[in-house]
Amino acid sequence: MTLKMDADALNAFLESDFPQVAGQYLVETVDETTLTARLKVEQTHLRPGGTVSGPAMFALADLAIYCAILSRIGPVALAVTTNASIDFMRKPAAGRDLIAQCRVLKLGRVLAVAEALIFSDGGAEPVARCSMTYSIPPK
Amino acid sequence: MTLKMDADALNAFLESDFPQVAGQYLVETVDETTLTARLKVEQTHLRPGGTVSGPAMFALADLAIYCAILSRIGPVALAVTTNASIDFMRKPAAGRDLIAQCRVLKLGRVLAVAEALIFSDGGAEPVARCSMTYSIPPK
Amino acid sequence: MTLKMDADALNAFLESDFPQVAGQYLVETVDETTLTARLKVEQTHLRPGGTVSGPAMFALADLAIYCAILSRIGPVALAVTTNASIDFMRKPAAGRDLIAQCRVLKLGRVLAVAEALIFSDGGAEPVARCSMTYSIPPK
Amino acid sequence: MTLKMDADALNAFLESDFPQVAGQYLVETVDETTLTARLKVEQTHLRPGGTVSGPAMFALADLAIYCAILSRIGPVALAVTTNASIDFMRKPAAGRDLIAQCRVLKLGRVLAVAEALIFSDGGAEPVARCSMTYSIPPK
């Protein structure tokens, strides 16, 4: 499998097509098996007590998985999330960025399935896991 | 069952404890069976094309379900979401607020389960459905 | 909306196309909004202690939701489950059949989404909730 | 981490405590990171066309994840599944056993989260993925 978009191309795509949120995320690495993306945690992502909110983790997983799919099908697609399941397992470390590691499990004609583990930057144990299904529009 | 918090109490709680997001949401009604909450859709919730983003819908469901649980156990609890499953079914109508209708299915000693349907304001068919589990801390 | 299959037609379809399991299930009612199906609980569905197993509840939800979709699109379809999320909330009552009440939330061109609540026969509170996505094959 | 039950102990436990289903499953390997279990596919697990049914895959994931948790906490626990999310991604190969590979992501005081990938025996790509939450009873 040849990737159609590398990390630079994905970051450029986020900046051009998702300017409202692009600054918050960085695709760090992408290869045939894994995409890694970072959420640059800011005040707006925090809950009282200083931990990252559930919706901010969901948004990171959604963006990372979207990028992992685009890395394989290219920027033309209007893929949309149709289903997501997320488990929040541990409290993220305060004052740390979050890192999502994701993996595409199926890339079909109409549906793609991928999963992500989310870590506090530098942490060994995942704070959340997420699986998502994307609907891929007909060409 | 007597509710421990009504809509006014829940809105006041959001303002005091979640000042970063409180202005975006309004608990409209709450009774023994259903809580209704509104997301006042703003530019920050939109995706290119003008529809509300998936993470914004997730955040609405999370907040509405959290409030539905608090309406029954009161504001003292540090309930946290442990699991969420969401289906995005239709494109939200552009320029419309979103309305979440949620229902508590189980309120146990350590776990609560609730579900929400999300509608574009005035729409007849749900744009998303979500179920969530909350962990309730020991007293 | 006109239903394409009523309860009798669905039960006949189960007997002809799913002979291995058909005797365990009965579609009791179906109308525009809700399908009700029964699992005739037998020894094979039980866990030690006498309660119905999780997989038996999953199988009931899967069958009931499948029938609810077929009631609308007819028996020709090779619809397949692509995703399921299930919450087990209470222990089913011993020695009681299970009843699934399900509702189709979306019937699209390629995906259908439906949900089910499962009760012990005669019980007021759901023992499980389930949502499923089906992929509908092109005609 | 020291395992409290190895593959032999888990298989013996299944035979003594789940005699109705034990013959269908075999725990093949278990170590600190991964448990592998086999479903010996029989007629009763098949759908028309000869592929393994969704509920049979669900049951395999449930059993494998249950064993993975018991391998760490021992046979005393009455752990129960509280939530499951499963994606059916590919049609299992006809006439092949199914293999579940599972991994415990969190083993907390009251909740455990684990995930499983399911393969047709000898297949390279997963036919299903599943994540489950178990509630662990207080000692």
Give the relative orientation of helices B54-73 and B7-17 as an angle to the nearest 10 degrees.
120
Residue C71 belongs to some domain of the structure: yes
In a domain, C2, yes or no: no
Give me the CATH number covering residue D79.
3.10.129.10
| pLDDT over 70 at C139, yes or no | no
Question: Inter-chain contact C20–D86, Cβ cutoff 8 Å?
Answer: no
Contact B106 C90 (CB under 8 A): yes
> For residue C19, what pLDDT band results from cuts at 50, 70 and 90?
confident
Would residue A2 count as lying in a domain?
Answer: no
Residue A69: pLDDT over 70: yes
* pLDDT category of residue C95 using cuts at 50, 70 and 90: confident
A/B interface, count of CB pairs below 8 Å: 62
CB C90 within 8 A of CB D80: no
Distance of CA B75 to the CA centre of its chain: 15
Q: Looking at the predicted structure, is the pLDDT value of residue A49 above 80?
A: no
| Residue D124 clears pLDDT 90, i.e. is over it | yes
Give the tens place of pLDDT for each residue, D18-45.
Answer: 888 889 999 999 999 999 999 999 988 8
Query: Is there a contact between D82 and B133 if contact means CB atoms under 8 Å apart?
Result: yes
How is the beta sheet containing A98-107 ordered, strand by strand? Answer: A25-30, A35-39, A98-107, A111-120, A128-135, A80-88, B80-88, B128-135, B111-120, B98-107, B35-39, B25-30
Decide if pLDDT at A139 tops 90: no
Residues on chain A touching D105 (C-beta within 8 angstroms):
87, 89, 117, 126, 129
Please give the interface size between B and D, counted as residue pairs whose CB atoms are below 8 Å apart. 14
Q: Which residues of B touch C87 (CB under 8 A)?
A: 105-106, 113, 131, 133
> Beta-carbon neighbour count of residue D43 at 10 Å?
7
- Residues B86-108 have pLDDT tens digits of 999 999 998 899 999 999 999 99
D-chain residues within 8 Å CB-CB of C84? Answer: 54, 58, 84-86, 88
Query: Is C1 a member of any domain?
Result: no
Work out how many domains chain A is built from and give that number.
1
Q: Is residue B1 part of a domain?
A: no
State the residue range of the domain holding C113: 7-135
Chains in contact with A, where contact requires at least 3 CB pairs less than 8 Å apart: B, C, D
Tell me if ipTM is over 0.90. Answer: yes
**pLDDT band at residue B35 under the 50/70/90 scheme:** very high
Establish if C39 belongs to a structural domain: yes
Chain-wide mean pLDDT for chain B?
A: 93
Mean pLDDT throughout B12-30? Answer: 91
Number of separate helices (H) and strands (E) present in chain C:
3, 6
Tell me the two tokens of residue B52. Answer: 């509300």
By CA distance, what is A105's nearest residue in D? D126
Within-domain flag for B2: no
Residue D2: inside a domain, yes or no?
no
Record the tokens describing residue A89, joined without a space.
């397992």
With contact defined as beta carbons under 8 Å apart, do B28 and B37 qualify? yes
